[in-house]
Structure 1
Amino acid sequence: MDSLTQACLGGALGGAVLGRRLGRKSIVLGAVTATLPDLDSFIDFGSAVAEYTYHRSVSHSVFVLSALAGLLTLVCARLPATRTIPTASWFWFWWLCLVTHPILDAFTTYGTQLLWPIASPPVAWKTIFIIDPLYTLPMLIAIIVALIRGARGRAVVIGLAISTVYLGFSVAAKAMVMAQVQPELVQRGLDDRPVMVQPMPLNTLVWRVTVIDDDRQLEALVSLFDERHTLAFDSFSRPMAAHDMLVDSWGGQRLGWFSAPFWRSEERDDTLVVTDLRMGQPGGYSFAFVIGERDDSGQWQSVTSRSAETARPDTSLLPALLKRITQPEALCPSDFGDRDRLLPDAECRPRE
């Protein structure tokens, strides 16, 4: 999630745990503590792919953060200014403010390595967009009230409760969308293909459904208010250029572990560019990387990965996204771009 949301979550938790003992300081300290895991964004890991895939790893491990919470608790137990507060209270303060950060991140699409150093795939439950005002605002309002009136009241608890209920709703909403989509996939013979369901920006009412069908990428938008049997896919080509190099190079292997099969590779001016199809929308993906270049003999050679050019999100479509909640024709995946990759069998917005 974004830094503001993480700070709000930490501040609300801090006020809930130690508000009666520390007052407003508990909110400020909790907010600062909750943003610490994202300091890994300032580490230079040596290449663009390394920075992309090592973010949300060590600093987001529940094991590492639990150990850090224990260490901070021992420090507080020894300092004269803080040991008047029970040790157990300090532990719960530090642990909740730190560990809820990666757990909340795991509800987004990016991928969080909760169990580092265990070599398990990144966790991504994909139930909430990285910025969702309906999740953040209850905690933000509660924190403002608590800072004005004092942190001893119930404002932060109420704010936490509302946001937590909303997060639970996002899980239920995804389950509803999956239940709506699954029969359609079975009918189309796509039920054995990789499927990704995630919320569209800033809401949990309209969802993006992505299906990888070999060299095709099927995209659909589904609203909780859609009628049954109205699923309409836009179909895009999904190139996988220089497959051998993808498999053999470190950058390709790392990106494959992190985002495959929701990726594609293509040639751009004698460079091999890999795009993460999970992050963004067709025609406006957030992350793409150059991992290879052709040498003078025309052979592919691995290079130190660097970020490739990507299109900016089309914010002018936000009103259409709002209409899409109740109007299926208001917005289609191809409206975001990538019309040159749109295949003739597109259903939502056929090629003209």
Structure 2
Amino acid sequence: MDLLTHAALGACLGEIMLSKKLGKRALLWGAVAQNLPDIDVVAALWLHPSENLLVHRGGTHSFLFAFIAAAVLALVAGRWHKKRQIPWSTFFMFFVVQLFIHDLLDTCNAYGTGLLEPFSQERFSFHLLYVADPLFTLWPCLGLLALLFLKIDKSYRTRWALIGLVPAGLYLLYAVSNKSQVKSQIEASLAKQQLPYTEVLLTPNPFTTWLWYAVAFSENGYYVGHRSVFAPEETQTNFTFFPRKEELLTSATNPAEVQELKRFADGFYTVERWNDTLVFNVLRYGQMLGWQSPQGRFTFHYFLNPPGVDNKLVMQRGRLKGWNQETLQYMFRTIFMVPEKTPRVTTEK
């Protein structure tokens, strides 16, 4: 999730767990702890882009790091607030909860979180929320704003903290329900069209859990489609086939880089050429305006050849590329199944 969401959630948790002992300082400690795992972003300053992809949301997002960091933070906070005589164990549990929630919340996105590192390299991705979802972030932010401006002795501060947390949790359950519904409908469409597949990946499109992006894994490529939660059950999903083109990787100049990208892609990738540039696409992160342009390029596209092409912003550069008012209107119509208006034809007498 984004920094703002983590900070707001951490502050609301801080109010509930520690405000009686620390007052509004609990909000700050919560916001700081919630964002601590994302300190791994600094690694981008010196790591190769393909290496950084696996470092981000890796070690600093593990359960082991959460325990170690919580112990250190508890020592720092205990000394900082020594006069308040708060037990180390109280601070420790507070920070463990904050860090665990950060890590588990990140598993709801598509990126993948290394919860078990360094003991296992497995990444966990439940594909429930886009990295920034306004309907999820709204509630923690409302709670945080109220907590910042309400006086500390107001009895209803806890209510505002719960307003920041409970609706967000319910929205997460709503996302689970939406995904389950859409997945069954996607699989039904694949079966009806007799399209062979072994696995279906489903992830929300930007900023919503009402429009989902689906990728069906087949032997030589992938069937990609989009579906709204409001689409009638009998509505058939249209799919576009993208071949994997594994053979193009023989011309890649850095085999180690390719292996890192394959691990990051977790089996969902295609290779293609854009003029003289060899491109590695990771399909797990969506398609640029795919609900509007079924043949559109994929959000994550990494340039393999020629060497020296800039990949530093590989996770960001395709997310909002091409967005405009028309795109938003088309997305709205796709979600709510509004038929596109056709121009009125007039004949002259």
Check whether TM > 0.5: yes
In structure 2, the residue corresponding to 1:286 is in which secondary structure?
A: strand
In structure 1, the residue corresponding to 2:82 is in which secondary structure?
A: coil
User: Which residue is 2:343 aligned to?
Assistant: none
**Is 1:251 matched up with 2:252?**
no
User: Which residue is 2:15 aligned to?
Assistant: 15
Q: Residue 211 of structure 1 is aligned with which of 185, 200, 216? A: 216
**Residues of 1 paired with 2:196 and 2:86: CA distance?**
55
Q: Residue 190 of structure 2 is aligned with which of 182, 185, 190? A: 185
Q: Deviations over 1:152-195 (max 9, x none)?
A: 62111232111111112111211111122223333344464231
Q: Residue 235 of structure 1 is aligned with which of 240, 244, 253? A: 240
| Pair 1:79–1:7, CA change in 2 (3 A) | closer
**Is 1:274 matched up with 2:280?**
yes
What is the CA-CA distance between 1:292 and the residue it aligns to? 4.2
In structure 1, the residue corresponding to 2:172 is in which secondary structure?
A: helix
| Pair 1:254–1:90, CA change in 2 (3 A) | same
**Residues of 1 paired with 2:223 and 2:339: CA distance?**
17
Q: Is the 8 A contact 2:116 2:122 kept in 1?
A: no
**Residues of 2 paired with 1:91 and 1:305: CA distance?**
45
**Residues of 1 paired with 2:57 and 2:41: CA distance?**
9
**Is 1:290 matched up with 2:294?**
no
What is the CA-CA distance between 1:81 and the residue it aligns to? 2.1
**Residues of 2 paired with 1:65 and 1:166: CA distance?**
25
**Residues of 1 paired with 2:16 and 2:251: CA distance?**
52
**Is 1:322 matched up with 2:327?**
no
What is the CA-CA distance between 1:270 and the residue it aligns to? 4.1
User: Which residue is 1:163 aligned to?
Assistant: 168
Q: Structure 1 stretch 284-293 or stretch 167-176: which is displaced more?
A: 284-293
| Pair 1:315–1:278, CA change in 2 (3 A) | farther
| Pair 1:305–1:122, CA change in 2 (3 A) | farther
What is the CA-CA distance between 1:249 and the residue it aligns to? 1.3
Give the aligned residue type for 1:266. Answer: E
| Pair 1:12–1:145, CA change in 2 (3 A) | same
Any unmatched runs of 5+ in structure 1?
A: 294-302, 331-352
What is the CA-CA distance between 1:327 and the residue it aligns to? 0.7
In structure 1, the residue corresponding to 2:51 is in which secondary structure?
A: helix
Higher RCO structure, 1 or 2 (CA under 8 Å, sep 6+) = 1
What is the CA-CA distance between 1:264 and the residue it aligns to? 1.2
**Is 1:106 matched up with 2:119?**
no
What is the CA-CA distance between 1:271 and the residue it aligns to? 3.9
Aligned residues: 322
Q: Is the 8 A contact 1:76 1:83 kept in 2?
A: no
Q: Structure 1 stretch 232-241 or stretch 124-133: which is displaced more?
A: 232-241
**Residues of 1 paired with 2:133 and 2:81: CA distance?**
41
Q: Is the 8 A contact 1:289 1:306 kept in 2?
A: no
Q: Is the 8 A contact 2:38 2:57 kept in 1?
A: yes
Identity among equivalent pairs (%): 27
Q: Residue 205 of structure 2 is aligned with which of 180, 200, 204? A: 200
| Pair 1:313–1:57, CA change in 2 (3 A) | farther
5 Å matches for 1:88-107? 88-107=89-108
Any unmatched runs of 5+ in structure 2?
A: 291-295, 341-349
Q: Is the 8 A contact 1:226 1:328 kept in 2?
A: no
What is the CA-CA distance between 1:75 and the residue it aligns to? 4.0
What is the CA-CA distance between 1:306 and the residue it aligns to? 4.5
In structure 1, the residue corresponding to 2:7 is in which secondary structure?
A: helix
User: Which residue is 1:143 aligned to?
Assistant: 144
Q: Structure 1 stretch 122-131 or stretch 195-204: which is displaced more?
A: 195-204
In structure 2, the residue corresponding to 1:71 is in which secondary structure?
A: helix
Give the aligned residue type for 1:100. Answer: I
What is the CA-CA distance between 1:116 and the residue it aligns to? 0.9
In structure 2, the residue corresponding to 1:56 is in which secondary structure?
A: coil
